[in-house]
Amino acid sequence: MGSVRNAFTIRTLRRKFLLRKAEVRRACFRAKRDAWREFVTEVGNNDPWSSVYRWAKSGGKRPSTELPASIRKLDESFTSSLRETDENPLEQLVLEDSERNESAEQMAVRRETGVSVGSFAPVRPGLTPSGHPVKLCDTDEVKAALWRIESNKAAGLDGITLRILKQAWPVLAEPITHAFNCALRFRVIPSTWKDAALVVIRKGPGKDPMEAKSYRPISLLPALAKMLEGIIVARIRTDTDSRMSARQYGFTKNRSTVDAIDRVLGWTVERTEKYVLGIFLEITGAFDCLWWPRFIKKMQSNGCSDGLIDLTKSYLDGRQAHISRCPQGSQFGPDLWKQAMNPLLSDELTVGTEIVAYADDLAILVAGKYRRELTERANKMLERARQWANERKLSFSTAKTQTLWLKGSLTPQKPLDLRIGELKVKMTPTAKYLGDTFDQKRTFMNHLAEKRATQWGYTVGYYL
């Protein structure tokens, strides 16, 4: 009889335990849900571009920084060692400079800018260069450059972190300022500050991990180099910002992807023509494949001083990369790309056309009343973009180029004959631009469906 009572008591206690356990789990779920809602509401309202936005954009997933043991080479064979696997993405993504197949005009640009294959005409160290001097910096400017960079950025090969520099600033202020002024005075970037730890990150979970082009190479530079870059960039902006096109929304103060998308939609609505066509271009390689001689020449025409051009040459010359596993980037690169893009955006456009750029993401908008007018205007803009790219040894990926009707549409059985060079551009039912999926009626329902599908699984997993 005693054993029966004990068994009954155990079952009763177990049921009570399970009930209490379920109550605790529900209470934890409610607490996590309420805390998450409070966090999203408070942080999201105070700063729309904060961690909440970045989480929603990425789906809560970090990009992979791991390379597989073997990846596919250009000849369709596979790498046979870890060292070869580490080096292969660079060989495919960053093309070597070459004079092969260069036109007479391109060779003349090389001579004019002093950029030979693989190197730049050096500034002789130890001698003060002639021409307009570069403005020197003081400790306040150097301190501002240091504090502008987030402390959690990874260190370069020298191992010196931004936290160390900020903690030791009272002691290091004068020596660092002196070193920076020597670099500005003699227009030479120290070679040790040009040695980068290299990391490759996968562009997205849907990319083939065996393909080198599925990865993005990023340089980890020394903290002191990042500080000096910020000071040089500020001087370049002072010289050239007045000549930069208003059509560039990337790397521009008080402008964002939202402004670029708003310009695309606003221009479309404003047009009185019956049809508006959007052509969204992707540059193959972009900054990694940019031809430096043409870029240096355009810096001169943009009003950049000789001293800053010499510093830019020194910055680009003799760079070394070593494989690493922690991604960060450069401050100088974005502004250099902005300079390179400016000629495409600044010239007067054909009537009924517009270009909207965010960094290397290009949207060409074409309005017209009938098929022939649309075709002529669109092909003229595509040829203009192709010539700009050819002058800089860049190319557009026709496979990834998307063409979408933003207003009105013609019969799909007889699409427009649009071409980049000899390659035909196809019409697409949707187009992805700056992370948003456009559809023909500009409802963004496809975009919302994609985001809902992406976020739902992650959110359920987060709560559970």
Reading the block at residue 441, the tokens are 């009626």
Q: Which residues contact 146 (CB under 8 A, 6 or more apart)?
A: 162, 165, 166, 169, 227
| Joined tokens for residue 131 | 């021409």
- List, as one string, the DSSP characters of 349-397: PPTTEEEEEETTEEEEEEEESSHHHHHHHHHHHHHHHHHHHHHTT-EE-
State both tokens at 284.
């193959």
- Positive/negative CA dihedral, 347, 286, 337, 128: negative
- Residues 70 and 348: their CA atoms lie apart, in Å, by 48
Q: What DSSP assignment string belongs to 9-68?
A: HHHHHHHHHHHHHHHHHHHHHHHHHHHHHHHHHHHHHH-TTSHHHHHHHHTT-PPP----
Q: What is the mean pLDDT of the chain?
A: 82
User: Which position has the token pair 């309005």?
Assistant: 367
Sign of CA dihedral 49, 52, 56, 61: positive
Taking only the tens place, the pLDDT of each residue in 417-452 is 999 988 888 888 899 898 888 988 888 888 888 777
- Specify the 3-state DSSP secondary structure of 7: helix
Residue 130 has what pLDDT? 62
The whole-angstrom separation of Cα 399 and Cα 384 is 19
Q: How is the chain split into domains, by residue range?
A: 1-55, 104-255+291-320, 257-286+339-461
Residues of the chain with pLDDT under 70: 1-8, 44-45, 48-67, 90, 92-96, 117-131, 285, 287-288, 321-330, 454-464
Report the alpha-carbon distance of residue 169 to residue 172 in Å, rounded. 5
Give the pLDDT confidence score for residue 88 in this predicted structure.
74
What residue spans of 116-211 are helical by DSSP H?
139-148, 162-167, 169-186
What pLDDT shows up at residue 113? 82
pLDDT at residue 327 in the model = 45
* Residue 309, CA distances (Å) to 132, 219, 394 in order: 11, 22, 22
Q: Name the fold adopted by 257-286+339-461.
A: Alpha-Beta Plaits (3.30.70)
Q: Is the pTM of this model over 0.85?
A: no
For 431, list phi and psi in degrees, rounded to 5: -145, 135
Give me the pLDDT at residue 325, please.
Answer: 42
Assess contact for 425 and 397: CB atoms under 8 A. no
DSSP string, 285-346: SGGGG--HHHHHHHHHHTT--HHHHHHHHHHHTT-EEEE-S-----SHHHHHHHHHHHHHHH
Q: How many other C-beta atoms are found inside a 10 Å radius of the C-beta of residue 280?
A: 22
- How many other β-carbons are positioned within 10 Å of the β-carbon of residue 141? 17
Under a CB-based contact definition with an 8 Å cutoff, are residues 202 and 58 in contact?
no
For residue 334, count other CB atoms closer than 10 A to its CB: 15
Which string of b and e fits 346-378 if b means at least 16 CB within 10 Å?
A: beebeebbbbbbbbbbbbbbbbbeeeebbbebb
Structure token digits, residue 324: 């690493």
According to the model, what pLDDT value does residue 364 have?
A: 95
User: Please, what is the end-to-end C-alpha distance for the chain in angstroms?
Assistant: 43
Instruction: Give 18's contacts (C-beta < 8 A, 6+ positions apart).
Output: none
